Amino acid sequence: MPNCAALLKAIDAYIAKADESLTNALESAGFADCADTVAEISALEENIAQALTTQSGVINQRLSESVDLGEFAEAWAELKGLDNTDEVLAQLFHDSFTTNMPKLATSYIKQVDSALTVAKITKRTVDWAQEWSAELGKLMKLTGHDAIDSLLVEHLRDGNSVADFTRALMDDGIRDEYYRARRAAVTETLRAHSIAQQEAITQNPAVDDKMWKHTGEYRNKPRENHVAMDGATVRKDQPFSLQGADGNAYYPMYPRDSCLPASESVHCHCIHQGIANSDVLGLPLEERQELQRYYIALDDAEWERELNDSNRARAGIE
């Protein structure tokens, strides 16, 4: 038991050291609320890992009950249909986004105007949290399903046993729940920072333009195309123009915009910042707050117009 206690202590010390390193890196890069952010990453990681582990447990149980791989293949089709991991993950992400967004947006708006707070989130951001959470849940579930499908076809073709397939499943890392969970937790928590910063920029009457800032590397090699974006400036309601590593042009509103492919957002630690207008900052607080409400209403109206245009286009209405 003493040896076990020493091991647990060593593991805890390692995790604490790693988290401290991430906190320092985020602070240096200009992220807000860094200690709370790392705590949220850890909490979200644990919740995601539990959901993925539950999913794996069902698969393990069915594998252990199968006399051969053909029997499991038949059962797997049914298991996929019953799998509600996407709904569980969607709720986890949505809860994280909606709980942290107002706090983060307030921290970011105060970086430019210390007297302002974010008491109301725009409809655009509310809708994003709902839709992206659902999309994330589906993506993570289907990624696991597709990987198992591919491996299963290979092992059925080669006439392998259930034990062979189970071993390959483990070796392939498909069910490395904590790795997948930590990667998703880091990426999505930092994505929420970008959304919160954009929310603060949108609401802040003292900000007319925004700037992309490359922040260096944290345990990864910087993307050269992101390095090239450093200092790029656009109007606050306009997208940046990013030349993707794949040769395609992308138009994100901020780093880690969900319109970007995973290759341009996973492990990205860039930020964007509002550029302050000193003339507006000199206005009385009541006028700045009134202008803040005006910008919220303006963005809400624009978002409703965009949704209406999108719905009409899908319906084939000119």
pLDDT of residue 12: 66
Residue 29, pLDDT score = 84
**pTM across the whole model:** 0.88
User: Given this model, what pLDDT does residue 2 score?
Assistant: 46
Q: Which pLDDT band holds residue 159 (cuts at 50, 70, 90)?
A: very high
pLDDT of residue 315: 81
| Token pair 């341009």: residue | 264
Instruction: State the helix-helix crossing angle for 123-157 and 85-110, rounded to 10 degrees.
Output: 140
- Is residue 148 within 8 A of residue 174, CB to CB? The reply is yes
pLDDT at 1 > cutoff 50: no
Of the listed ranges 53-67, 144-158, 215-229, the least confidently predicted one is: 215-229
- The larger pLDDT score, comparing residue 89 to residue 16, is at 89
d(CA 110, CA 129): 22
Are 25 and 218 in contact, with CB atoms under 8 Å apart? yes
The answer on pLDDT for 9 being more than 70 is no
For residue 291, the model assigns a pLDDT of 97
- What is the overall mean pLDDT for the chain? 90
pLDDT in tens, 75-90: 999 999 999 999 999 9
Pairing state of beta strands 271-276 and 249-250? unpaired
**In the predicted model, what is the mean pLDDT of residues 287-304?**
97
Task: Supply the pLDDT for residue 109.
Answer: 97
Most confident of 5-9, 167-171, 293-297: 293-297
- Give 144: exposed, middle or buried? Use CB within 10 Å, 0-12, 13-18, 19+: buried
- What 311-314 contacts at long range (C-beta under 8 Å, 24+ apart), as own/partner pairs, is none
Residue 293 has pLDDT above 90, yes or no: yes
What tens digit of pLDDT does each residue of 26-40 get?
888 889 999 999 999
The pLDDT of residue 10 is 65
Q: Which whole number is the average pLDDT over 194-209? A: 97
The confidence band for 292, taking pLDDT boundaries of 50, 70 and 90, is very high
